[in-house]
Amino acid sequence: MYAYDTRNEGEQAMNYDAIVIGAGHNGLAAAVELAARGWSVAVVEAAGEPGGAVKTREVTLPGFRHDLCAMNLSMFAGSAFFNKNKDALFANGLGIVPAADCFASVFRDQTWLGVSTDLEQTSSRIAGISPKDAAAWKAMLAEFGADAPHIFGLLGSPMPSVAAAKVVWKAWRARGTGWLYDTLKLLVSSPRDFLDARFEHPKVKTMMAAWGLHLDFAPDVAGGALFPYLESMANQAFGMVIGQGGADTIIKAMTSLLASKGGELILGSAVDRIETSGGAATGVRLADGRVLTARKAVIANAHPQIVFGKLLAAEPTRAGFDAKIAKFRAGPGTMMIHLALDGLPDWAAGEALKKFAYVHVAPDLEMMSRVYAEAVDGLLPGEPALVVGQPTAVDPSRAPDGRHVLWVQVRVLPATIRGDALGAIEGRDWDTVKDAYADRVLDILEHYAPGLRARILGRSVFSPLDLERENPNLIGGDNLSGSHHLDQNFLFRPVPGYSRYRTPVKSLYLCGASTWPGAGTGSGSGFMLAGMLAGK
């Protein structure tokens, strides 16, 4: 059950210590943490349901529950917020399901390679094509065991901060100067350079590099090596986690936990503007005229271009900051295709693929480079990269008995269409072309899983434009809320000098995927911001 505002409509002024704009998981994490510290908190959400990009709905047929955007909750299950609130979240209804067979890639020759938590299974698959790479995989996993506390410690610290400096200091004491150089090299390397230095077989490299396109890292983009490394090794070491009954289980648990701590959730109430006085944020005015006053902080869990382009009036003293925010680049767009099926896909590469949570259809590095180049040039890619989620292979509760849902994320698409790489689709707007493009995706899937079309009972397509309509923070269908290239990451996210969530407006703070540590379900920015505001 969600918590709703129950105040009388006649009550015009409401006073809180903090107001959070946006009920995505980062905003909710901030609200829960502040409420636990004794702050009075209200979370205001324009939509009629909380969740942001973490929502689950029956968008095809009754009884088929589809995660609209996010499906993989591994980052949430590994987060500091979860670790602190684990027992309370489970008590408030959280359900998670582990996936032992995590991810796999299919290749043009109708073979596959995948990662399962059983190391011997994974390494034997790799050894079948390269014994040398199997040994390299095991060596990398051993290194990851020593690296992980330091890397995840850095990702879980404000940037910059004393906490981050302590992580680096401890890493230096434990691992030495050479490790620091190697880690810095990892952070700035492209996926291809990183993988070429460690593996010899193209299929191993392809399997890992596919994770780069979950963000906006084609094989040769600097700074893209970290995500393939972390995702591959974390899945090998810990497995993948999805939500029982749907990804929205984390939202239901968080809103219930917030209510238990006295926090309020006000749904269906858009913020018209952020109120200011004397250069400081003092609250928000809702579209219905109500004013909510914040004594200590207004936290915007929203894209900075919405905050500083719509919710705040321009100020001459802020002109330089506003100009930088206006230039904050989006990542490529995304399409989501949700299918209700009478059975899992019959993958030509092998029956075993039916067990995996994710199957990547991105068969080689050359294709990944091409699709990215086409998308950033405004072209509909001829062969898009596909992340095929099979949640009912892990959690059958999401569909009627014997039925399944398929979650297809179409990666790196243009927000504005200039043409079609294949010259076959004539339209130049997503409302016109989305069904034709979805058919192209199904043609690709049909090649790798013959007979898939005959299994489809229902279909729902969300174009990049549809995703932005669903969630205005996904500008141009960018589910990253801003490119993660090096000039917009770490100390530079969202803009240099403002990576610690503050803004030029006193008492106004940002959190969410547009801020450090970026996209994903880890709730890191909201949790860290709340800790900074309330005092560690």
The predicted-structure confidence for 394-431, as pLDDT tens digits, reads as follows 999 999 999 999 999 999 999 999 999 999 999 999 99
Domain containing 225 equals 119-238
* Model confidence pLDDT, tens digit, residues 217-251: 999 999 999 999 999 999 999 999 999 999 999 99
* Model confidence pLDDT, tens digit, residues 355-397: 999 999 999 999 999 999 999 999 999 999 999 999 999 999 9
Q: How far apart are CA 449 and CA 24, in angstroms?
A: 35
Same domain, 293 and 361: no
- The reply to whether 516 falls in a domain is yes
Same domain, 234 and 314: no
User: 470, 498, 521: which is the final residue of a domain?
Assistant: 470
Average pLDDT in the 462-491 region? 97
Q: Which pLDDT value is given to residue 43?
A: 98
**Helices 524-534 and 25-36, packing angle to 10 deg:** 30
Same domain, 414 and 293: no
- The reply to whether 106 falls in a domain is no
Same domain, 318 and 336: no
Confidence category of residue 69, pLDDT binned at 50, 70, 90: very high
Vertex 379, ends 375 and 383: CA angle to 5°?
Answer: 70
Same domain, 156 and 224: yes
Same domain, 265 and 371: no
Q: Which pLDDT value is given to residue 536?
A: 57
When the pLDDT of each residue in the chain is averaged and rounded to a whole number, the result is: 96
Average pLDDT in the 127-143 region? 98
Is residue 2 over pLDDT 60?
A: no
- The reply to whether 292 falls in a domain is yes
* DSSP H stretches of helix in 290-416: 304-306, 319-326, 365-376, 391-394
Q: Which helix (H) or strand (E) holds 38?
A: none
Percent of the chain with pLDDT over 90: 97
- The reply to whether 180 falls in a domain is yes
- The reply to whether 284 falls in a domain is yes
Is residue 11 over pLDDT 50?
A: no
Same domain, 170 and 60: no
Q: How far apart are CA 525 and CA 536, in angstroms?
A: 15
**Residue type at position 17:** D
Same domain, 177 and 224: yes
User: 470, 491, 518: which is the final residue of a domain?
Assistant: 470
Same domain, 424 and 413: yes
- The reply to whether 103 falls in a domain is no
Q: How far apart are CA 412 and CA 385, in angstroms?
A: 7
Is residue 1 over pLDDT 70?
A: no
Confidence category of residue 8, pLDDT binned at 50, 70, 90: very low
> Is 426 buried (19+), middle (13-18) or exposed (0-12) by CB count in 10 A?
exposed
Same domain, 298 and 388: no
User: 238, 273, 297: which is the final residue of a domain?
Assistant: 238
How many domains would you assign to the chain?
A: 3
Is residue 5 over pLDDT 90?
A: no
Q: Which pLDDT value is given to residue 13?
A: 54
- The reply to whether 519 falls in a domain is yes
- The reply to whether 109 falls in a domain is no
**Closest CA relative to residue 437, chosen from 466, 468, 471:** 466
Confidence category of residue 312, pLDDT binned at 50, 70, 90: very high
**Residue type at position 167:** V
**Residue type at position 530:** A
CATH number of the domain where residue 289 is located? 3.50.50.60
Same domain, 454 and 339: yes
Same domain, 402 and 454: yes
CATH number of the domain where residue 452 is located? 3.90.660
Is residue 176 over pLDDT 70?
A: yes
Confidence category of residue 534, pLDDT binned at 50, 70, 90: very high
Confidence category of residue 253, pLDDT binned at 50, 70, 90: very high
Q: Which pLDDT value is given to residue 430?
A: 98
Average pLDDT in the 449-457 region? 98
* Model confidence pLDDT, tens digit, residues 319-363: 999 999 999 999 999 999 999 999 999 999 999 999 999 999 999
* Model confidence pLDDT, tens digit, residues 26-47: 999 999 999 999 999 999 999 9
Is residue 308 over pLDDT 90?
A: yes
